């Protein structure tokens, strides 16, 4: 397997949608368009379009500078490295313990 060096020059911001959908975003778009193409009721298609436009407007107006969990790729790699190290040292808590704490409040 060929090894590719990490580039310090390129900074990329990873936000929730990218982390969630990643490279599957185009597939999701195609599936959505295919689903809409099956609809024969113009009122439903118009409502879908209006809703999508409204969501895009909200997205455009959202201030990502204050959004939580925005990391560059390098920062994300460092957070993952720290998490793995803490896990290796046994510094974390189990899922069971987290669930107990969650439901105590």
Q: Does residue 85 belong to any structural domain of this protein?
A: yes
How far, in Å, are 4, 17, 49, 50 from residue 56 at the CA level? Answer: 36, 13, 11, 10
Measured in whole angstroms, the distance separating CA 63 from the mean position of its chain's CA atoms is 16
Q: What's the pLDDT tens digit per position in 16-39? A: 555 555 558 888 899 999 999 999
CA dist 25 and 17 (Å) reads 9
Secondary element (H or E) of residue 4: none
DSSP-derived letter for residue 9 is S
The residue with greater pLDDT, 3 or 93, is 93
**pTM as predicted:** 0.40
Residue 36 structure tokens: 């809409």
Q: Does residue 8 belong to any structural domain of this protein?
A: no
Q: Does residue 17 belong to any structural domain of this protein?
A: no
Residue 105 in this model has a pLDDT that exceeds 70: no
Q: Does residue 21 belong to any structural domain of this protein?
A: no
Cβ-Cβ contacts under 8 Å for 13 (sequence gap 6 or more) = 70, 71, 72
Report the number of distinct structural domains present in the chain: 1
Q: Does residue 56 belong to any structural domain of this protein?
A: yes
Q: Does residue 5 belong to any structural domain of this protein?
A: no
Q: Which residues constitute the domain of residue 43? A: 26-104
Q: Does residue 59 belong to any structural domain of this protein?
A: yes
């Amino acid at each position: 397997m060929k090894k590719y060096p990490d580039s310090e020059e390129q900074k990329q911001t990873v936000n929730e949608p990218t982390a969630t959908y990643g490279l599957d975003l185009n597939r999701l778009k195609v599936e959505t368009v295919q689903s809409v193409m099956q609809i024969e009721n113009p009122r439903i298609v118009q409502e879908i379009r209006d809703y999508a436009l409204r969501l895009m407007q909200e997205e455009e107006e959202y201030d990502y500078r204050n959004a939580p969990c925005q990391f560059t790729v390098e920062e994300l790699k460092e957070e993952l490295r720290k998490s793995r190290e803490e896990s290796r040292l046994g510094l974390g808590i189990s899922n069971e313990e987290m669930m107990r704490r969650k439901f105590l409040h």
